[in-house]
Amino acid sequence: MANIKVVDLSGKEVGSVELDAIFAAEVNEALLWEAVKHYRASLRQGTHATKNRKLVSGAGKKLWKQKGTGRARVGSIRTPLWRGGGTVHGPQPRSYEYPFPRKKLLGALRSAVAAKIKDGNLILVESFEVAEVKTRLYREALNKLDAKKTALLVESSQQLQEKLYLGSRNLPGVELVLSSEVHPYDLLRYEKAIFSKAAFEILTETLKKAVSRRKPAEGQPKQAEKEVA
């Protein structure tokens, strides 16, 4: 399997990491689309609302008698047939969230990482540590890593993330997430994905376990096929 180089924040190569075979598989674009659709659906507020005939203003009195006027019969000024009346079957507040299997989410995450590696937009750094927690220093580091537009920073733990968050929170087009919280939508949204070495190793182990669960263990017999009567 191919290797990916590990650099420091100055862009100098300091080592390499061997890529696991799971990233050599084909990118599943359909699964990526499903993951992005699910993520964006969960972001919707769902606060849209229309007023039906019981909520719009207006009296409920019958406007004229049923028969004898020569006019069309009408029961209320709030009828949906009239201007200013209620809306029929209009949208009401609801949640757009729906369940999404964890296996599919991890599969989409593997495809997103593989796509970044294939395009040369995934960067591994030894550490995000800088001399001082200043936005200027992180901006200079990102420029040296050729991440001049948008970048997703992925760190391994909350303790290591605190200083990085303080130094990068004011950078436009830069977002920081934990390796346990990274989503395929995040990887597709930003041009560059910059992982710390520890974060990438943790993510790789998580994806390997997900793949191994789908395969039968060595020496374990496969489920017997049903006999056709």
Query: What are φ and ψ of residue 108, in 5° steps?
Result: -65, -35
Residue 220 has pLDDT above 70, yes or no: no
Query: For residue 147, how many other CB atoms are within 10 A of its CB?
Result: 23
pLDDT tens-digit readout, 3-40: 888 888 888 888 888 888 888 889 999 999 999 999 99
DSSP 68-131: SSSSPP-S-TT-TTSTT-PPSS------------HHHHHHHHHHHHHHHHHHT-EEEES----S
Q: Which domains does the chain have, with CATH numbers?
A: 3-44+98-214 (3.40.1370.10), 50-90 (no CATH)
Secondary structure (3-state) at 119 = helix
Q: What pLDDT is stored for residue 223 in this prediction?
A: 52
Question: Closest Cα to residue 1, out of 15, 16, 21, 17?
Answer: 21
pTM for this entry: 0.78
- pLDDT, mean of residues 80-90: 93
* Tokens (6 digits) for 49: 């609302």
Burial 31-47 (b: 16+ CB within 10 A, else e): bbebbbebbeeeeeeee
